[in-house]
Amino acid sequence: MKRLFLLLLVAVVAVTFILIRPAGLQSSDLPVHQADAVNGRQLFYAGGCGSCHGSSDEKADLPLLGGGLEMETPFGVFRVPNISPHPIQGIGDWSTVDFVNAMHFGTSPAKQHFYPSFPYASYSRMTLTDLIDLKSWLDTLPEVDKASAEHALNFPWNLRFGIGFWKLQNLDTDFIVAVDMADKQLTRGRYLVEGPGHCGECHTARNLMGGLDKSHWLAGGPSPEGEGRIPNITPHKDGLADWSAADIEYYLESGLTPDFDTVGGSMVEVQQNMAQLNKQDRAAIAAYLKAIPAQPSAVP
């Protein structure tokens, strides 16, 4: 009986290890694709990469991605890394598959789990060809010789292996809202919002483990900056019920609300990024936001 118990224990440990170990693809798993840096640039702005990873230099012709932003959370302080093409301080020595594994699986080139402050739970919905395009655009940007500081997390969140359990519960490549697949505008809007745009990372409340509470998708949440809340952007009376799709599209382009107020707070940079998208993509985002289930605000 004791021997059987030990065998079962070993089996459980082995299966658990397999389930929580960092996942990833091999180079041979990637599709044959001619990288398109122009599309990569659009994805860069759809994802707002420069808002978190950007270095301050308004005179720079191209985005400088030296990182350094600090995010204070209940789990500790997360520090945003350098993702410029610098071969030592940034991601210049990453292969394409290294980049894809980081974005799709939250797995580093050293086969470690990335913390989900990096929103790969959303980026995992991006296509492999779009990720290849995004990498090709990032490779054209200036190198930034700036070291990234380590996170300063509280126990037990500083134990990185626990992220594997988090991924089992929260890393899901399925789209959240069902749409009519024949409607190309809606499917494009869903892709942009739920994937590269990662809008739910701020506009959706979280559970105790820091995962998104998808039962309250886009119904608002507490501000990651510690004060106030992020608004409800569903078509509920608490959210965007009084906004037309054209209002949303124009807001993303101009930063002006239907009552001629202006965008504020952390949304300023998001709107500036969305203004870089083409009109069709902004219209697709607006159509999706008007089509999702209306929900009351999750945070009063």
CATH of the domain at 209: 1.10.760
CB 286 within 8 A of CB 249: yes
Domain span at 290: 175-300
Q: Are residues 104 and 194 in the same domain?
A: no
Asked if residue 230 lies in contact with residue 203, where contact means CB atoms within 8 angstroms, the answer is: yes
Establish if 208 belongs to a structural domain. Answer: yes
Q: Looking at the structure, tell me whether residues 275 and 139 fall in a common domain.
A: no
For residues 102 and 242, membership in a common domain is answered with no
Tokens at residue 90, please?
């940034």
Token look-up 């605000």 returns 297
Q: Are residues 150 and 190 in the same domain?
A: no
Query: Residue 17: its pLDDT value, please?
Result: 47
Which residue numbers in the chain have pLDDT < 70? 1-20, 56-60, 224-226, 300
Instruction: Spell 148-178 as b/e; 16+ CB within 10 A means b.
Output: beebebeeebeeeeebbebbeebbeeeebbe
- Does residue 145 sit in the same domain as residue 184? no
Tokens of 294: 């209306």
Supply the DSSP symbol for 34: -
Element holding 192 (H helix, E strand): helix 184-194
Answer yes or no: do 101 and 240 share one domain: no
Render the burial of 197-229: b for 16+ CB within 10 Å, e for the rest. bbbbbbbbbbeeeebbeeebbbbbbbeeeeeee
Which residues partner with 107 through β-bridges? 113
Beta bridge partners of 152: 77
Distances (CA, A) of 31 to 26, 100, 233: 11, 12, 35
